[in-house]
Each structure stands twice: as structure tokens, then as C-alpha cells.
Structure 1
Amino acid sequence: MPTVWQHLATPPALPGLFLRAALRRGIRSQPLPNLGLRCELSVDPRHLARYRQVCGIAASAYLPAAYPHILAFPLQMQLLTDARFPLPLLGLVHVENRVRVLRPLGGLGPFTVSVELGALQPHSKGGVFSLITRLEDQLGLLWEGESRMLCRGLQVPGVAVNPPTATPLPLSDVAQWAAPADIGRRYARASGDFNPIHLSAISARLFGFPRAIAHGFWNKARTLAELQQHLPDAGYELSVRFQQPLLLPGAVTLQASAPGPSGQLSLQGRDGAVHMSGRWQPCDPCDTAHKA
């Protein structure tokens, strides 16, 4: 079914959406709604500076490659807490993410940000769906992101299909950094994502974690900051799979293949646990996974 688009005059306020998410329980049997949200907005330079500082991203004429996800976060929250959305937001697991930088992310806007849902599909641990985000300017599509979200225990007809595995490339150490105990709270203030699993050990224990865990998108943004010499300004996509959670405080080592049009990466902890793995490759600006 085609997406039914709703145009918002301003981004929705987050406090009410967090309350709606906290009160929502249970899984309904209805399908995912064919609802999409659009909103025009511009970048606040002070907010961008805070985001760069928290994620260790150097100043640049271009927006960071993961930043459009932050711009779209209020719209994502409104879509995932809509009364027609059948799954509880708390408990969804972000398992994969892909960003496509189609053109250089220059300027501060105005941009049109949009979010919509992909189809629900079977997974070995439940059901997965895509949350699709786009950033456009007056010339068209600039950036596209796809987050794969897992709902554990959900019964979806069909057979789960595992993505193809790429031939491993030689990796070498690129960077190391610490993930301090308060990085979840600092990133939450910069991103708006106040999921309790990231904020403190007390709130994380309510969801089965011994300590707070780092945001997956902080891991990805911090990784992209260290791969600036490996990646072009545009014309590429970078896909990652979020694996073992990074408990806070912690420390990681980023490994990557040699700079080039295509490559692979791995983010590992001191004990060798892989927290995130991924790859990058060129993309065709005309070949988007989901047409608007």
C-alpha cells in the first residue's frame, strides 16, 4: 500500500512522546500502518556543535553522516508511538543500520525530513521492520537512512532470510577510545534519545542489563568520525550490524580495512567482543532502496 503522508508544521515535542512510549504495553495483531511523516526544518548550529563534541567529530563544512538521524528523531518517535503502530517502542532492538550519503551534506537547511515504515519480515528471534528516514533539499534527495528494528517473540509468517556474508578483508587498528560512564546521558542530551537502557545502571537493570549501555548510534557516529580519511564526502553507503552491547564505562578499538571505495570495519572491546561490524561501498544517487 502507498504511504499516506502527514505534513507537520514543526517537529513534535519529545516529552509527551516518551510518556506515550512508557505507557504502551503489549503487541497488537494489526499490520504496520502505511503512515509517513514529513517536516521542514533547519539545523541549529549550537545543537550541531554539541553533537560534534559528544561524538568526537571535527568541525567541517559538511554535516556528519549520522546527523540527519538526529534531526529526524522526533518524527521517528511520533511514528513509533502512533496509536496505529502495533508494537511497543520500549523493547524494540536496533539490530542494523545503513546510511546512504548521496550528495555532500552542506549547509544548514532548510531541509525536508521524512520518516516511514518498511514491511514487517520474519527474523530468527521474532519480527523485523525498517524505519526509513530521508533528508532532502531543494535539489532532491541528499541522504537516506534505514534502521532495522527487531521485536522479539513476534510471530511473522514466512522464513527468515539471512543477508549474504561478504568475504572478510584484512583489518588493522585505526583508533581507540573510551566510553565513559556518563556518555549515555551526554549523548541523550545531544540526540534527544533518552532510552533508559543508556542512562544509568539502575534504569538499565529494569531491562535486563547489568549496567547502562552505549547508544548504538553513538558508536556509529564515533566510528564515522575516525573513518573520515577512509570515506569520500558523498556517493557512498555504510551499513553496520549492532552486536554485543557496550557496557559503560568501557573502551573499544576500531579496526578497518585500507582506505578505498569499499571496505569493512569492526568495533571491538578489550575482551575481544565485537560490538559493531560493518562495511562501506559506493552507491548510485539514483538507486535508492526505497523510493519516496
Structure 2
Amino acid sequence: MTTKSFDKAPSTLPLMLRAALPAVPGVGSLPGVKHTSRDVPDLVLERGGVVTDPEHLQRYLEVCGFGHADAVPATYPHMSAFALHLALMTDTSFPFAPMGLVHLRNRITQHRPVTPDDVLDVSVRADDLRPHPKGRLIDLLTTVTAGGDVVWEEVTTLFSRGSGSGAETSAAPLEGVDAPSGVVHWRLGGDLGRRYGAVSGDRNPIHLHPLTAKAFGFPRNIAHGMWTKARCLAALQNRLPDAHVVDVEFKKPILLPSTVVFGYETDGDAIRFGVKAQKKSATHLVGRVTSL
């Protein structure tokens, strides 16, 4: 296993440009651009000594709807991992071109609350390249430690569309789980993708403007999946245990601007939640919180 270490977060803008190159006619087949591997890359990316910038944290809380708390939101450590995710996906040893991937599922395991004073070490690798009826799946695994102890983990499941390679080798975490109905309406502005992208560094063109989204087949720009997950956890902020697992599956993209409906139900120690369209009741996200 090859390990690549970073003293600071890689700059996401050059990585975004590199991510787009495989889609450019005549460029995508060039050496150093084309993704030729068909296996999980033998590569670990890591960054040590990550500290929380209070100003950045405040901007994140505001754009995602969190109130003040002693610990950072369960979704916030994803901010320190995103640039490493992008660096891994743009490496030509990664089996898929990044711009064609769909963020299908996300699981966060918070072993204990992460505080703004924690000094974190972040590690990212890929795993479990597997079949899907409409293509293939691969996971990005993120591990965050503080003082040598694992405090936070994430599984980011990515879908690459193509000829179906068979049924999934194991059941999806939320298979058979439906999003509950709700009454809380969120009115999302057309600039949401730009505002969240400025905080997260995820400036994928599909999130920024209608014109750039149309170039990738969307009628309008769409909300970030990780913003939607964060906004749901903000709505549940006072109900979350200190140690928990949050699974979500992203169903239908949220076109911006739009109004969506949030709902949740409790089932023992678990909380089931979801986001639906206001008019057609199409499900955008379904999720579940379980205690550790």
C-alpha cells in the first residue's frame, strides 16, 4: 500500500479542473489523464494535524442551519476529508473518471463528539469495488483520529453508471426503508450550491449555475447531497446521541431553487428521516440514525 501525506489540504480548484479533463474530447484518452485501472487503487492519502478554523466552522453552521454547540456537527469532519477524496478520485489509478460518478450513499460513524479543540489526523482510501445492476459501486473510506483514537469514520459510496455487472453483493444499508412524511418546508434558493461550495470546496459545476449544470445533463443546478444530509442533522440536532451512526441514501437530485419537505419518525433508539419534493412527493433522501 502506497501512502501519500499532505501538510495541508490540497487545493480543490486545480483538482476540479483535473477531474473535468477526462470528459474533454481528445484529452480524456491522453496518458496521465485517462483512468485505465479496473481495480481499487493501492493508495492511502493522509493529512495530519488538522485543526478547526472557527470562522470556517461558523460559516458551515450558518449555511447548513446548525445552532451553536460545544461539538462540531457530525458532518463537519467531512470538510477536512473532501479535498483528499478529490485527490484520490483524480489519480489515474482510480478506476472511474470523477465527473461521471454519482454520490449514492453516505454513512458517518461518530464514536464520540468531535470538538473544535481536537487535533485530527485524516486518512482516506478506496475499497470494495463491486457490481450494481446498472453499473458498479466503489467506497471511499475515511478515518479520523484524535490522540491516536478513532473518533469518526465515513463510507462514501459512489456509483458509476454503465452496463449492469450483476446484483449487489450485499444488501444496501437502507434497503426497504422509506422516507417518512413531514410538514417542515425548506425553501432553497438558486444560490445554495454556490454558498455551500464556497464553504466545502466542492465546486462541481452541477451545483453552481443552471448553464454549467445543463452541460452535464441537468435542467438546473442541484443541491449538494452532503448539504442535504447536514441540513437534516441540523433539524435533529438536539435529538442525536453522542455516539451514533447516520446512514443516508440519495434518491432524486434537488433542483434549485425549490421547496422540499423534511420529516422524521422515532423507532426505539433509531430515528428515520427523509426529504421529499413538495408537490410530487418524490423522495430526495432517506436516512436513519442509530445509537452506537
| Common fold by TM > 0.5 | yes
Post-superposition shift, 1:282? Answer: 1.9
Counting aligned pairs with the same residue, the percent is 38
Report the equivalent of 2:5. Answer: 7
Q: Deviations over 1:28-82 (max 9, x none)?
A: 2431212111111111111111111111111111011111111111111111111
Counterpart of 2:229 in 1: which secondary structure? helix
Change (3 A) 1:260 1:36: same
Q: Give secondary structure in 2 for the equivalent of 1:254.
A: strand
Matched residue SS, 1:18: helix
1:193 aligns with 2:202: yes
Which residue of structure 2 aligns with residue 251 of structure 1? 259
Equivalent residue, structure 2, for 1:265:
273
| Aligned counterparts, 1:100-249, within 5 A | 100-153=109-162, 156=165, 159-161=167-169, 162-163=171-172, 171=180, 173=182, 175-232=184-241, 234-249=242-257
Q: CA contact under 8 A between 1:101 and 1:236: conserved in structure 2?
A: yes
Q: Please, which moves more after superposition, 165-174 or 249-258?
A: 165-174
C-alpha separation in 2, matches of 1:170 and 1:198 = 24
Single out whichever of 257-266 and 32-41 deviates more from structure 2: 257-266
Runs of 4+ in 1 over 3 A off after TM superposition: 164-172
**Which segment drifts farther, 273-282 or 107-116?**
107-116
- Deviations along 1:169-192, one digit per CA (max 9) or x if unpaired, are 894636321111100000000100
Q: Any stretches of 5+ residues in structure 1 without a counterpart?
A: 284-292
1:13 Cα offset (Å): 1.6
- Contact 2:37/2:92 (8 A) holds in 1: no
Q: Is the partner of 1:49 in helix, strand or coil?
A: helix
Q: Does 1:278 align with 2:284?
A: no
Which residue identity lines up with residue 124 of structure 1 in the other structure? P
Distance 1:170 1:149 in 2: 21
- State the alpha-carbon separation in 2 of the partners of residues 13 and 191 from structure 1: 12
- The equivalent of 1:39 in structure 2 is 47
Conserved? CA contact 2:111–2:152, under 8 Å: yes
- Structure-2 change in CA distance of 1:159 and 1:269 (3 Å): closer
Deviation at 1:276, TM superposition (A): 0.1
* Secondary structure of the corresponding residue to residue 247 of structure 1: coil
- Could you list the per-position Cα deviations for residues 179-234 of structure 1 after superposition, in whole angstroms to 9, with x for gaps in the alignment? 111000000001000010000110000111100110001100000000113211x2
Shift of 1:258: 2.7
RMSD: 2.0
Aligned mates of 2:145, 2:288 — CA distance in 1: 24
Provide the C-alpha distance between the structure 2 equivalents of 1:165 and 1:196, rounded to a whole number of angstroms.
29
In structure 2, the partner of 1:289 is none
